Amino acid sequence: MDIKIVHTSDLHLGSTFKVLGSKSKLHRIDCQNVLTNIIDLCIKEKVKALLIGGDLFDTAEPQKSLVKFVISEFERLNKEKITVFISSGNHDPHKNGSVWLAYRFPSNVIIFDSSDLEAKEIDGLTVYGLAYIDDTKEPLKGFKANDFDNFKIGLIHGSIIDINWEEEPEKGYRRITTADLNNCKLDYVALGHFHDTLEIKSKTKCFYSGTPEPLTFKNKKDCSIILASYNDGNVTIRSIKTNIREFETLEIDCTNFESDSGIRKIIEKNKDKNKALRLVLKGLPSLDLNLDIELLLKEFDENYFLLKIVDNIHLPENLIEDETIRGNLIRLIKAEIGKEKDSEKKKRLENALRIGVGHLDKKL
């Protein structure tokens, strides 16, 4: 008979999502709804357990209403005799005053509280987990699971050192090596901390589940949970898409654009009311491109969950600085740009030059 578990992590419930502005509260609710959907999936699939690999909450002391919501969802699993295993993460560490010590969770919830991996066993399933108490712990260093017939899982919030952690400020937390994985004698290692679904190549089957709902524009378009099944010593993995919203970044080279029609076509093509689109405009277009971002946002904002347009275009290199009014304006403002150290002020000067030349060209 199969033993099935769901592996998730990094929900970051209660995150502020400041980058989303007026949509931040809605996305906090999205993340709660995703947890509800995961609970529904656990019940539908009749899994043995739900494993959460850290950062269930965005802070160690979340709002009481949020904790009560989570407890009520875990109670639904309790009624179905489904166990919840939780290893805390660097955002919700196990410490005095933390959510893990301040609240009473249902009887089906096992919260690891040791600084070292410890085994918790239920009916054919053994989960080795540990609490997140410090950043420097190497969870699997020197570890070997006991030899018995159970489905043996490691539940860890930590950093595999052999993957690209570019732009991740927390990349060094809780180091795990491929050698650690090869020698641990576990059937499956359920990881949290990296925010995209990722298989780690080793002798032991090992995955980051990734966040089930996008947290930033760095996340991949599709977010998932892992459904792992164990039968006669074999582990099979199925990734199941979970995200309600889709976050996407598109970079557009505007060098050959003389109007905003090309930008409008891209915005029109990608519109989706569940999508948060971050459009990054780059390149060196001619001064003929008169860009009005506020107007574009007003026109298309209702077609998206969120639309952000980032103006990273710069002045073309072949501007003529002759003795005409136009040429003198170019010369004067370029001189000010050259002296300015602040990048935002430089950008404002560039935009001022575009607008000024645009007005002159219309008059001339």
For residue 176, list its beta bridge partners.
160
d(CA 310, CA 291) in angstroms, rounded, equals 11
- Residues 230 and 300 both lie in one domain: no
Same domain, 59 and 170: yes
Q: Convert 98-114 to b/e letters by CB count within 10 Å (16 or more is b).
A: bbbeeeebeebbbbbee
**pLDDT at residue 233 in the model:** 86
Q: Give the pLDDT confidence of 190-249 residue by residue, as tens digits.
A: 999 999 999 999 999 999 999 999 999 988 889 999 999 999 889 999 999 999 999 999
Instruction: Tell me: do 219 and 259 sit in the same domain.
Output: no
Q: Which of 179, 206, 241 finishes a domain?
A: 241
**Residue that finishes a domain, picked among 241, 274, 290:** 241
210 and 333 share one domain: no
Q: Let me know how long the chain is.
A: 364
For residue 226, the model assigns a pLDDT of 98
pLDDT in tens, 290-328: 888 999 999 999 999 999 999 999 888 878 888 888 888
pTM: 0.89
For the record, the structure tokens of 89 come out as: 């993460």
Q: Does 272 lie in the same domain as 222? A: no
Rounded to 5°, angle at Cα 276 from 68 and 27? 10
> Would you tell me how many other CB atoms lie within 10 Å of the CB of residue 241?
11
CA 154 to centroid of chain Cα atoms: 22
Query: Which of 187, 212, 241 lies at the terminal end of a domain, its last residue?
Result: 241
Which of 50-59, 168-177, 214-223, 241-250 is predicted least confidently? 168-177
Task: Label residue 364 by pLDDT band (50, 70, 90).
Answer: low
Residues 226, 315, single domain; the answer is no
How many domains is the chain built from? 2
Both 26 and 118 in one domain: the answer is yes
In a shared domain, residues 170 and 252: no
CATH at residue 70: 3.60.21.10
Residue-range definition of the domain harbouring residue 149: 3-241
Burial of 338 (0-12, 13-18, 19+ CB in 10 A): exposed
Quick one: 276 and 237 in the same domain?
no
219 and 258: one domain?
no
Q: Are residues 122 and 228 in the same domain?
A: yes
Q: What is the CA radius of gyration of the chain?
A: 26
* 153 in the same domain as 47: yes
> Environment class of residue 347 by beta-carbon count within 10 Å: exposed (0-12), middle (13-18) or buried (19+)?
middle
User: Which pLDDT score, from 0 to 100, does residue 119 have?
Assistant: 96
Q: Could you count the other beta carbons within 10 Å of the beta carbon of residue 221? A: 12
